[in-house]
Amino acid sequence: MIGQAVSALALGTGHEVIGYSRRPAAQGPLLTKSLVATSASPLPETKLDALVHLAGESLLGLWTKAKLERIWKSRVDLTKQIVEQLRSWQPANRPRVFLCASGVGFYGDRGDEVLEENSTSGSGYLAGLCREWEAAAKQAAELGTRVVLMRTGVVLGQSGGAFPLMRRAFACGVGGRFGSGKQWMSWIHEQDQAGLILWAIENDSVVGPVNLCSPTPVTNADFTRQLATHLKRPAFLHVPAFALRLAMPGMGQEMLLASQRAFPRVANDLGYRFAYPTLDDAFTALI
């Protein structure tokens, strides 16, 4: 979903876009050309100005030992492999900027604390995953490449991610808050996600971690209320915290109950203008 949004925006502003995929893809409206990635060679060499790394096993699902291993390998190990491949490239072909996905899970469960890019990392599986993921990406700086670490919140879009699932649940009248609803949610509209990525590519002053989230995070209870209001549906199905922990060990606690009140200080200070700064703006556009 994010890759398509970035590609559409980049092509619309005059860039060429090369897609790397494990599945051969014909050139289409969202790609200038595509290259086939393999396990042994995830990054076939070609000349790049910028590399945007969004790959990773979905976090959704039961967090079994095997699932957690796939999540880790698809992020930390793959990023290490990509950086090593860049070392073997001809210097003239290496990207000037490497943007690597990360997440606001880096901060752990922090209650009402406002979290900016210079905030410390937290505890838990996701925080540890993001720390190691970012550490692997930072190694590209040794090649003279500018590295941007994209700490993303919940991306709201029509074609994928969490929003279509939420919309269906609320439309059926079975939406509701998780736990107390006091936990903060850092969110972003998919067009601002793509906009920030392209802005970071084009702005040489953007280096290191960047919170890719709106400037107005909301609590889970407020998110629930606003979504129900826009859909004109009730939101009475409160899911107790203990039920989430039992039904989805690990994932329920770290993704649905953890509180991350992230603020995009870097984007704000460097002048990025959000198309959808408030949740009401985002829901109006999406619904």
Over residues 165-176, the pLDDT tens digits come to: 899 988 888 888
> For residue 29, how far is the Cα from the chain centroid?
23
Percent over 90 (pLDDT), the chain: 77
Residue with tokens 């901060």: 107
> Which range is most confident: 32-36, 174-178, 207-211, 247-251?
207-211
Going by C-alpha positions, the residue among 159, 199, 133 that lies closest to residue 2 is 159
The domains of the chain, with CATH numbers, are 2-161+186-215+261-276 (3.40.50.720)
Q: Which of 27-41, 116-130, 248-262 shows the lowest per-residue confidence on average (mean pLDDT)?
A: 27-41
Stretch 242-266: mean pLDDT? 88
What pLDDT does residue 3 have? Answer: 92
For all residues of the chain together, what is the average pLDDT? 93
The Cα–Cα gap between 157 and 97 comes to 26
N-to-C CA span, the chain: 18
Under a CB-based contact definition with an 8 Å cutoff, are residues 287 and 230 in contact? yes
Q: Taking phi first (over 0 means left), then psi (-120 to 50 degrees means alpha), and beta for anything else, what does residue 111 get?
A: left
What pLDDT does residue 25 have? Answer: 63
The Cα–Cα gap between 170 and 228 comes to 7
Cα–Cα separations (whole angstroms), residue 10 to 6, 213, 285:
6, 20, 21
Give pLDDT tens digits for 14-29.
999 999 988 766 556 7
Under a CB-based contact definition with an 8 Å cutoff, are residues 133 and 98 in contact? no
The Cα–Cα gap between 211 and 281 comes to 19
